[in-house]
């Protein structure tokens, strides 16, 4: 949530920062701004709207300079406007700051600063922070690094910040607590950003700044301290990210590219982890807890959004294969209860970004109560993998489209492997059953590939229902999370109101909504509840609803009743979410495109939700 980029070095800073902001737009896209220092002074450009608006606005202006900071915003305090956009400036207009996060005690600080004569232009918490730094520097007569350190010791909240000073045009100051920040290490130049995507094309080495660290960054110098003033030795890591992964690769949208990447991403996720020939699952990241898993009786999954849906699929998989009781919790609810949890429990936190504030808070609570925490994350080196005891990366590659697609299937793949791994430790499956499930799991990428061939058919179906005002998604058992995920995809990118429901629950409410205008998507594959779902389809048919059914290849029964059918390859019921979700992703995608929506950056949403 909010993307930040900074540069100091010998190159022109503007194009680097601007391009970086475009790469980070998935984090927030309601306004943006850049502050740049040059020999004649400095310039600050800020505009409501997308980064392209800022780009157009600044085209004929002086954008020269070798040091700059830029920000793309997802509004928390104050509406998206030119004034509320970052960078924000100190009272004397000397210091400029970009900030991702929230300063919780900003109102108290603001009052004190107003009493001391500060005047504020915006409604943001960020502007208060830069005025506070200025005030401390004036009172203490210290250098900026020390003033920032002292100020950060007095604020409550989360932040990743970068500051430039007109009076010291060769330095950036960066700090983080609870929001990510990575420093790119070049030759005579440094980059700072919310994640590595803006800097991957310039440097190979990065330093992930840790919580409570503050950095002084000059062209030839880097100094990192803790907020308690202790100097740190930075850990330089090689960047694994590839530039191609951040480009659309010929697809019209990132979302479509990411949907089509799923045969590969699911395969990458399983690579080196499953061995069908020997019937073994190896999960190096949680291996140290193999003995604990032997005796585990309860697992709690915490997550938000699509990751929560993956958690529901995980509940089915772990209970089915490992016979361990699973509870799936919204992290945002879990954190504000007094959850009953102790050192015998394992908590699995699922997060694509590895930065979601509610999921992080839920982890902290579970940790305080003594539970063992596993993380399932996609972004390597993000905050969640650092605060968990162990974990399994999804290795789906960067996901740029705000609507999660390949991250979901990779999360479900990891949960399938975890379920089978626990089953292996507990001996709840016979060796031959385990081997046959692993063989089937290995075949999933190929089956996804086949499914993608139906893209044109799905597009035709999308054209038929694109004008609907509402849509219902129904499924049972392992298909229920698929129904929820199908509905979420549709509502978030096409703005059609959609609900996912367990098919049998339809008669307790949603059935009242059904008329000839209402598309109802059924996951009606051949599994244990097939007959029951057929009855539900008949109930909808009797009320003239438009039936779209996801069916098993070769199905004849449902085809007689449904208006439109999409076939998926046969598979064990437990693997259904890995297959049935794909056509629903495509359906949502095509409907959104036909409705003229911004598929990759739907309104009001952000990919990384670092505020609660």
Q: Which two tokens stand for residue 514?
A: 């059904």
**Running DSSP on this structure, what letter comes out for residue 362?**
H
What is the nearest approach in angstroms of ligand G6P to the Cβ of residue 607? 5
Pick the closest to residue 569 from 580, 559, 581 (CA basis): 580
Pick the closest to residue 473 from 529, 534, 524 (CA basis): 524
Under the binding rule (CB under 6 A), the answer on residue 307 touching ligand G6P is yes
Separation of alpha carbons 419 and 322, rounded Å: 6
Out of 137, 168, 359, 552, name the contact with ligand G6P by CB under 6 A: 359
Separation of alpha carbons 8 and 164, rounded Å: 10
Out of 180, 305, 385, 475, name the contact with ligand G6P by CB under 6 A: 305
Under the binding rule (CB under 6 A), the answer on residue 332 touching ligand G6P is no
Q: How far is CA 498 from CA 469, 494, 566, 588, in A?
A: 9, 10, 19, 11
**Running DSSP on this structure, what letter comes out for residue 178?**
B
- Nearer to ligand G6P by C-beta: 91 or 356? 356
Under the binding rule (CB under 6 A), the answer on residue 601 touching ligand G6P is no
Under the binding rule (CB under 6 A), the answer on residue 306 touching ligand G6P is yes
What is the nearest approach in angstroms of ligand G6P to the Cβ of residue 282? 25
Under the binding rule (CB under 6 A), the answer on residue 394 touching ligand G6P is no
Out of 530, 534, 605, 612, name the contact with ligand G6P by CB under 6 A: 605
What is the nearest approach in angstroms of ligand G6P to the Cβ of residue 611? 11
Out of 126, 356, 413, 478, name the contact with ligand G6P by CB under 6 A: 356
User: Is 113 in a helix, a strand, or coil?
Assistant: helix
Out of 38, 85, 91, 351, name the contact with ligand G6P by CB under 6 A: 351
Name the one range near ligand G6P by CB under 6 A: 183-191, 472-480, 534-542, 601-609.
Answer: 601-609
Under the binding rule (CB under 6 A), the answer on residue 404 touching ligand G6P is yes
Size of the site for ligand G6P (CB under 6 A): 14
Pick the closest to residue 100 from 133, 77, 132 (CA basis): 77
Q: Which two tokens stand for residue 74?
A: 């997802």
> Which of 2, 377, 471, 597 is the catalytic position?
2
- Sheet with 95-103: strands ordered across: 88-89, 95-103, 157-165, 171-177, 213-218, 221-226, 231-232
Q: What is the bridge-based pairing of β-strands 564-568 and 41-48?
A: unpaired
Under the binding rule (CB under 6 A), the answer on residue 387 touching ligand G6P is no
> Which of 46, 47, 177, 607 is the catalytic position?
607
What is the nearest approach in angstroms of ligand G6P to the Cβ of residue 445? 22
Q: Does the annotation mark 377 as catalytic?
A: no
* Token pair 């930040």: residue: 4
What is the nearest approach in angstroms of ligand G6P to the Cβ of residue 358? 8
**Helices 480-494 and 576-594 meet at what angle, rounded to 10?**
20
Pick the closest to residue 474 from 515, 444, 506, 432 (CA basis): 506
Which x/- pattern, by CB under 6 A, does the window 524-563 give for ligand G6P? ----------------------------------------
Q: How far is CA 490 from CA 175, 312, 474, 587, 588, in A?
A: 38, 19, 14, 8, 5
- Nearer to ligand G6P by C-beta: 268 or 355? 355
Q: Which of residues 473-492 bind ligand G6P (CB under 6 A)?
A: none
Q: Does the annotation mark 597 as catalytic?
A: no
Active site residues: 2, 607
Instruction: Give the binding site for ligand G6P (CB under 6 A).
Output: 304-307, 351-353, 356, 359, 402, 404, 605, 607, 609
């Amino acid at each position: 949530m909010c993307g930040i980029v900074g540069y100091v070095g010998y190159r022109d800073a503007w194009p680097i920062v601007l391009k970086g902001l475009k790469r980070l737009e998935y984090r927030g896209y309601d306004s943006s701004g850049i502050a740049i220092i040059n020999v004649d002074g400095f310039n600050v450009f800020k505009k409501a709207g997308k980064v392209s608006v800022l780009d157009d606005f600044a085209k004929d202006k002086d954008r020269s300079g070798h040091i700059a900071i830029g920000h793309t915003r997802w509004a928390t305090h104050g509406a998206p406007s030119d004034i509320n956009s970052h960078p924000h400036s100190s009272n004397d207009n000397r210091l400029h700051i970009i900030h991702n996060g929230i300063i919780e005690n900003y109102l108290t600080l603001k009052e004190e600063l107003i009493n001391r004569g500060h005047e504020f232009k915006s409604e943001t918490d960020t502007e208060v922070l830069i005025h506070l730094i200025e005030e401390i520097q004036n009172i203490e007569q210290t250098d900026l690094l020390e003033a920032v350190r002292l100020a950060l010791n007095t604020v409550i909240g989360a932040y990743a910040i970068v500051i430039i000073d007109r009076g010291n045009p060769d330095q950036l100051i960066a700090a983080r607590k609870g929001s990510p920040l990575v420093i790119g290490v070049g030759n005579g130049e440094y980059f700072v950003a919310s994640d590595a995507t803006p800097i991957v094309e310039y440097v190979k080495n990065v330093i992930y700044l840790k919580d409570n660290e503050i950095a002084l960054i000059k062209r030839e110098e880097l100094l990192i301290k803790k907020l308690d003033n202790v100097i740190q030795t930075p850990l330089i890591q090689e960047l694994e990210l590839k530039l191609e992964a951040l480009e659309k690769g010929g697809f019209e949208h990132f979302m479509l590219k990411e949907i089509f990447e799923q045969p590969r991403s699911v395969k990458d996720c399983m690579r080196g982890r499953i061995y069908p020939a020997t019937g073994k699952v190896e999960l190096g990241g949680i291996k140290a807890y193999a003995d604990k898993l032997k005796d585990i009786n309860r697992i709690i999954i915490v997550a938000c959004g699509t990751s929560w849906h993956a958690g529901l699929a995980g509940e089915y998989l772990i209970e089915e294969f490992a016979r361990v009781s699973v509870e799936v919790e919204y992290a945002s609810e879990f954190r504000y209860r007094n959850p009953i949890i102790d050192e015998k429990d394992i908590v699995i936190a699922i997060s694509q970004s590895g930065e979601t504030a509610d999921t992080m808070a839920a982890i902290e609570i579970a940790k305080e109560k003594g539970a063992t925490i596993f993380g399932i994350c996609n972004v390597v080196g993000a905050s969640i993998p650092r605060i968990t005891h162990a974990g399994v990366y999804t290795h789906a590659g960067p996901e740029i489209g705000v609507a999660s697609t390949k991250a979901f299937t990779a999360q479900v793949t990891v949960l399938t492997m975890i379920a089978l791994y626990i089953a292996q430790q507990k001996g709840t499956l016979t060796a031959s059953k385990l081997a046959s499930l692993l063989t089937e799991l290995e075949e999933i990428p190929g089956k996804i590939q086949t499914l993608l061939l139906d893209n044109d058919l799905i597009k035709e179906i999308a054209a038929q229902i694109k004008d609907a005002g509402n849509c219902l998604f129904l499924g049972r058992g392992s298909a229920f999370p698929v129904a929820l995920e199908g509905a979420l995809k549709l509502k978030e990118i096409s703005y059609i109101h959609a609900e996912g429901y367990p098919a049998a629950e339809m008669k307790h409410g949603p059935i009242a909504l059904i008329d000839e205008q209402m598309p109802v998507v059924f996951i009606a594959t051949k599994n244990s509840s097939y007959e029951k779902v057929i009855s539900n389809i008949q109930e909808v048919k009797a009320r003239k609803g438009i039936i779209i059914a996801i069916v098993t290849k070769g199905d004849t029964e449902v085809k007689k009743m449904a208006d439109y059918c999409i076939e998926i390859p046969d598979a064990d019921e437990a693997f259904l979410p890995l297959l049935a979700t794909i056509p629903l992703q495509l359906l949502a995608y095509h409907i959104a495109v036909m409705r003229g929506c911004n598929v990759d950056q739907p309104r009001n949403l952000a990919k990384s939700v670092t505020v609660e």
